[in-house]
Amino acid sequence: MNDADLTRLPADDWDELINPRPVENDFDRVVDAAISRRGFLGGVLAFGSGASAMGTGVMIPATSAQAQATSRFAFDPIGIQTDATVHVPGGYRWDVLIRWGDPIFPDAPEFDHETGGDADSADRIFGENTDGMESFQVGGRQLLAINHEYTNREINLPHATDGVPTGLDDVRKLQSLQGVAVIEVAEDAEGWHVVKDSPMNRRITHLTPMKIAGPAAAHDLLTTEADPTGTESLGTFNNCGSGKTPWGTYLTCEENFNGYFGAKGAVEVSDPVHAGYERYGIGADGWGYDYHKWDDRFDISTHPNEPHRAGWVVEIDPADPDSTPVKHTGLGRFKHENAEVVLASDGRVVVYMGDDERGEFLYRFVSNGTYTPGGPTEGLLDEGTLYAAKFHDDQSGEWLALTPETTGMASLAEVLVFARQAGSAVGATTMDRPEWIAANPHAVEAYCCLTNNKNRGVKPNAGGDETPVNGPNPRETNNYGQIVRWRPENDDHANDRFTWDLYVMAGNPEVYHNIYGGSENITAGNMFNSPDGMAFDSAGLVWIQTDGDDSNEGEFEGMGNNQMLVGDPVTGEIARFLTGPKGSEVTGLTWSTDRRTMFVGIQHPDAPFPDGEGKLPRSAIVAVKRDDGAPLG
Ligand code: FEO
Ligand code: CA
Ligand code: CA
């Protein structure tokens, strides 16, 4: 397989290619487990009396008929689409706010569709593959902080054969197109636009200086030739989902960081580094970025600790464009999706986080200190305890502390750097690719998109943990995904015990009349697959974005392009609000401070969105408004 083929693979398929798992052959055990789960789920997924009679305290949606009568949705749901643009319901409209390549500084050039821009200006423009996004109000300015997750090399480097970098200049361009953008935006009679001369505008890239903080900072696993202190690194990588702290900072989450590293020579490392490479999918070839061939620090044969300085949650202060971003090792190192921050009853900071790979875990961090508005925040994302989730089949669950004592690992630093192995050591529940987590602002509960997992019941995870069907992951070869939610005991996110249920199990009721048809709140009119992005609005409705199979064929027929839906947590009702252009993933959602605009991300369209035929496809943020100008979330 050549570099171009490699980069077309989704990151999770690429991980498997470089690190093949043994094929599960204990088929009888898998089938037995699946059958027993189906019996249990008959009570849960019908959302009926069986589950409520269990007295779990889990919220149970009403029937679809009740939901119809009490719908809180202010729009008529839209049908599926298979075309190359964005659709929203009648009474709403959308416009492009910004696209890959648009200048965000006065001295940056306008986008050039022939070249895709040059390396020199790549950190002065809006980056590629928009993803997580949060809104901030700073001194009367409307700011957006937006992730740039990865690149589309064949589009970004049109001069290079198959998009393979031809030298350091190409690598620098790719490095500069990724990371984070902080931009000031403003609305006038023409709509929303970027304030190009704002002093708040900022690009953070794979080259930006970072601080490393928390228990793993300065540990031997994080030191390098360039940074013998293990406290300063360059760049934030594969910035996927996001988060926002109560004190007004932005959290950007490093996901498939392993793909940026490779080796020019033999890789000679001993455990635990070797085991870590295996578990995190770090190898000689990389994902086709070829950084290691032109930028030495990405060569793991000479800089074996550099990958340990990626895979973290990074805090950025959007109010201070000169601030140095901070990598918080207290939150653990894995393929972070997003970071949902809530407060415990006593003011401790709780961060929920997912590790998006097949069969990996769900995590929670609880700070030692408490947050008080205006008070000090130092250490609140580092000094505390990291936990992994264990789900029991009786709809109970618990958070298992990850410490040297519970895991048998040598130090807290090692626990955090190799959080996956720590989760395995305590027997955490293998999940169907945890993507975004969102907490309900009107109830003490949180939701996690489990996007899909074709290996459920088929293969172990990358660490060899078996992945039989289990409570929140009830279907073998799960191509559709589900959303699990949990409610902590005593309405306290710091409590180590919780109850859980499935808010929705995606499926296709037109194709399947079994568990693959989905839960009761899935119909022919709202079908989707692979829930991924998720956010609650101020009214307590949950918005769900998808990143799935948009072939609209076979078991995906009737689902169309990727989309954004909205769900009512109380009734279970779900309705389609927006569809994206063909090939794109809908990801990233936030609101203007006045809630009259919803900003939605469109990542990697195949079609020439949004500029039309003959133009390069460009990831973009669209601004969605109601025609009557009323708030929409
Ligand atoms: Fe970047 Fe798991 O999505
Ligand atoms: Ca995602
Ligand atoms: Ca995804």
Give pLDDT tens digits for 394-438: 999 999 999 999 999 999 999 999 999 999 999 999 999 999 999
Q: How far is the CA of 131 from the centre of ligand 1 (A)?
A: 9
Smallest CA-to-CA distance from 260 within 153, 157, 126 is with 153
pLDDT of 529 higher than 90: yes
The answer to whether residue 438 sits within a structural domain is yes
Return the number of other C-beta atoms located less than 10 Å from residue 101's C-beta.
25
The answer to whether residue 631 sits within a structural domain is no
The answer to whether residue 633 sits within a structural domain is no
pLDDT of 225 higher than 50: yes
Task: Look up the CATH number of the domain holding residue 264.
Answer: 2.120.10.30
Residue 515, phi then psi, degrees to nearest 5? -65, -20
Portion of the chain with pLDDT greater than 70, in percent: 90
Which residue is closest in CA terms to ligand 1's atom 1? 240
Beta carbon of 149 within 6 Å of any ligand 1 atom: yes
Section 371-395 average pLDDT: 97
pLDDT band at 315 (very low <50, low <70, confident <90, very high): very high
pLDDT of 104 higher than 50: yes
Beta carbon of 123 within 6 Å of any ligand 1 atom: no
Q: Give the pLDDT score at 11.
A: 78
Q: Give the pLDDT score at 18.
A: 65
Section 76-86 average pLDDT: 98
pLDDT of 460 higher than 60: yes
Q: From CA 597, how far away is CA 193, in angstroms rounded?
A: 13
The answer to whether residue 632 sits within a structural domain is no
pTM to 2 decimal places: 0.92
**pLDDT tens string 232-254:** 999 999 999 999 999 999 999 99
Q: How far is the CA of 547 from the centre of ligand 3 (A)?
A: 5
Q: Give the pLDDT score at 12.
A: 73
State the distance between the two ends of the chain, measured CA to CA, in whole angstroms: 46
Partnered with residue 433 across adjacent β-strands are: none
| Contact of 473 with 432, CB cutoff 8 Å | yes
149 compared with 3, residue with greater pLDDT:
149
Q: Quote the DSSP letter at residue 43.
A: H
Residue 407, phi then psi, degrees to nearest 5? -105, -20
The answer to whether residue 172 sits within a structural domain is yes
Q: How far is the CA of 548 from the centre of ligand 3 (A)?
A: 7
Q: Give the pLDDT score at 71.
A: 86
Q: Which domain holds residue 157?
A: 3-626
